[in-house]
Structure 1
């Protein structure tokens, strides 16, 4: 086998267990370090790396990304709880049975006895029924696993259409005073009001009558599996780059300014100093700068957010002592880390390029707020698409930045 061919750590049969998948991932990382060290050694000796070595590093890097994806997928699958939870609760079991009858046969009598028909704010005739608590919880849990920003952010449940949140951008004033000196009045905190409206997110999967009549099919599980993927995809995009029109406002959609000129209401950024990439010399300096751009109280809870492609490019960085800044997770299901801070992979983050904001770092628990209006609702429609039965499933979600000093960005530009 030549150097231009894939080596053993890069080619693996599909692992049967998460332990085997994680072992494959760690083996690939060791191969990556060995090959990248060779590339760096060639650059040091000859001022350039051999093309074969560069290509091999990139191949192993891509293989490493794919094996990390496999590990994450298997960990997520293992962590998903069964939908049938709550069977020991008679009230929950009754609701589940009534809801199943509604989905399968359109029988509303059981649900009518348990809850009033839900009407939307603007259209009092389209109705629908609340999903049983077990199914509602399951959809939310899967979204947390798939949408990284939801998992990092603060999540609030509301019963109304808008959450209004007061925020003190500056605290009260205080001062030292002599024992007998006058005590003049100090400044008071100035409160501002942040508004987070909830927007409607919907999906409308279809099923045949034969599927609904098949007693072996768990209809609730089917709805969850159909809905959670599309909801997570839409949410993940909106929390990152949504424009706030009929969707949450993403943290990349706010006004962005150089951190030296930061003010409340905008997101500060640190420039890499090179157009479309990192500086050739000391590329990791930008990452250090963005970490220390956060105040200590937020920095200790910091998380890097970037897509998988960007993560692959920074995996090659080393510190002054020759240690890799990117570290693999300690075990399956945990995130990788960069300079000791966790990395959240968000594929909705942009790729590195001219003037792009491909990396975010911040305390997202303090910085970003996700607002869920209580309840996922399902309206059964057997008429509009015969012979299919449509399930109009809706959820109201909002989101936006609640603390503008808790999130910083990296801009791939000279300034």
Structure 2
């Protein structure tokens, strides 16, 4: 490993958000210079120096690591305190919840007791879990989110506007056709986590129980949610957008997601590779494009990071500020590791307005059941929430399929 990339990797561990942002910008400048030299070698000799290829791969890894570190630092910076009293919440409720978690006490509790002996998480902690999920679950951060009180959320969608017609001042006004409606249904499924702690840990007066549960549960929930929102089959889990029926954009119809073919099996075209990405952008209607995002995994992002436009400008750009997102062709880029790698017939890139295109349904309440018996000396916390999800507008998301046609 050369000295430049080694030092960059060491710096990537820094927790200061402004320092991380500066390091990311510097790493990208080094990446561009290295890739420019690689392209010159290809033009001059027909092949790139192997050392340059290796350095470029390491710089790609450094950029990914620094981008992840920057996102984690932004999450930590935005994390709210949990010790404030929420309006409308009894003052003693959080104390009672803390007592339940630490010692199993349920004396004088008048709210939040489930019939099965569980305990509904106080709203401070519930809000924190939801906020953390939005921050670390990339699909939840860009999708539409609706909280419901029932087990199934249904909505009617008009797949075309009302029929209208032109008439003269004295012409008869015939009855127009009714607009066709379809019903979309989003059942909520149970998602659970079961963190464990020793009694000594729980009895430590310095432990913020609400924060501990939020942190422990968040990691488990976020990973499972993101996978389901991308590839879930709808069986005991949400239906992911990639589980939808897909068709070529020229044959698009409601109930299916349209795709643009890359023109090469398992790859971008060898010449004018960015043209197909421009086609994907403009496959989306203007009303959706203004709020659109790219969704892809880290490997795909690394491949696109090398692309330039006709003027020699890189299409991938780091975030414009420490709290911002990387952008590609002027649109926010969201990294979701559950998206498939570039491969034959893979749907590796999604582009769309996910706020309108994908709906996440959260049933109100996160419940905890304390179990001090099953895994002594550990106390288990069976934590559950109910989540559903599915495509809400099949015209708001387009895909790039790495296929010849």
What are the Cα deviations for residues 104-145 of structure 1, in whole angstroms up to 9, with x where unaligned?
A: 12111232x2x15324xxxxxx24111100000000000001
Deviation of the 1:170 alpha carbon: 1.0
The equivalent residue for 1:26 is 25
1:254–1:63 distance in 2 versus 1, CA, 3 Å = same
Do the aligned residues in 2 keep the contact of 1:163 with 1:195 (CA within 8 Å)?
yes
Partner of residue 131 from structure 1, selected from 114, 121, 125: 121
1:92–1:284 distance in 2 versus 1, CA, 3 Å = farther
Q: Which moved more, 1:380-389 or 1:266-275?
A: 380-389
Q: Does 1:328 align with 2:327?
A: no
Q: Which moved more, 1:248-257 or 1:382-391?
A: 382-391
1:276–1:90 distance in 2 versus 1, CA, 3 Å = closer
Do the aligned residues in 2 keep the contact of 1:92 with 1:133 (CA within 8 Å)?
no
Aligned length: 403
What are the Cα deviations for residues 311-335 of structure 1, in whole angstroms up to 9, with x where unaligned?
A: 1110111111111111110111211
SS at match of 1:321: coil
Deviation of the 1:6 alpha carbon: 4.1
Do the aligned residues in 1 keep the contact of 2:112 with 2:120 (CA within 8 Å)?
no
The CA RMSD over aligned residues, in Å, is: 1.5
Deviation of the 1:83 alpha carbon: 1.8
1:337–1:386 distance in 2 versus 1, CA, 3 Å = same
C-alpha distance in 2, partners of 1:56/1:217? 45
Q: Which moved more, 1:7-16 or 1:40-49?
A: 7-16
Do the aligned residues in 2 keep the contact of 1:144 with 1:150 (CA within 8 Å)?
yes
Do the aligned residues in 2 keep the contact of 1:12 with 1:24 (CA within 8 Å)?
no
Partner of residue 114 from structure 2, selected from 110, 115, 118: 118
What are the Cα deviations for residues 33-75 of structure 1, in whole angstroms up to 9, with x where unaligned?
A: 1111111222223333222222222221221111111111211
Deviation of the 1:11 alpha carbon: 4.3
Q: Does 1:350 align with 2:348?
A: no
Do the aligned residues in 1 keep the contact of 2:156 with 2:183 (CA within 8 Å)?
yes
1:173–1:390 distance in 2 versus 1, CA, 3 Å = same
Q: So what's the TM-score if we normalise by structure 2?
A: 0.96
Do the aligned residues in 2 keep the contact of 1:269 with 1:410 (CA within 8 Å)?
yes
What are the Cα deviations for residues 298-352 of structure 1, in whole angstroms up to 9, with x where unaligned?
A: 0111100011111111011111111111111011121110111000111111111
Deviation of the 1:388 alpha carbon: 2.2
Do the aligned residues in 1 keep the contact of 2:15 with 2:69 (CA within 8 Å)?
no
Listed as ranges, the gaps of 5+ residues in structure 1 are: 120-125
The equivalent residue for 1:378 is 368
Partner of residue 211 from structure 2, selected from 210, 215, 221: 221
Partner of residue 164 from structure 2, selected from 144, 158, 174: 174
C-alpha distance in 1, partners of 2:277/2:261? 10
Partner of residue 100 from structure 2, selected from 98, 102, 106: 102
Do the aligned residues in 2 keep the contact of 1:242 with 1:253 (CA within 8 Å)?
yes
The equivalent residue for 1:46 is 45
Deviation of the 1:16 alpha carbon: 4.6
Listed as ranges, the gaps of 5+ residues in structure 2 are: none
Q: So what's the TM-score if we normalise by structure 1?
A: 0.94
Partner of residue 265 from structure 1, selected from 255, 259, 267: 255
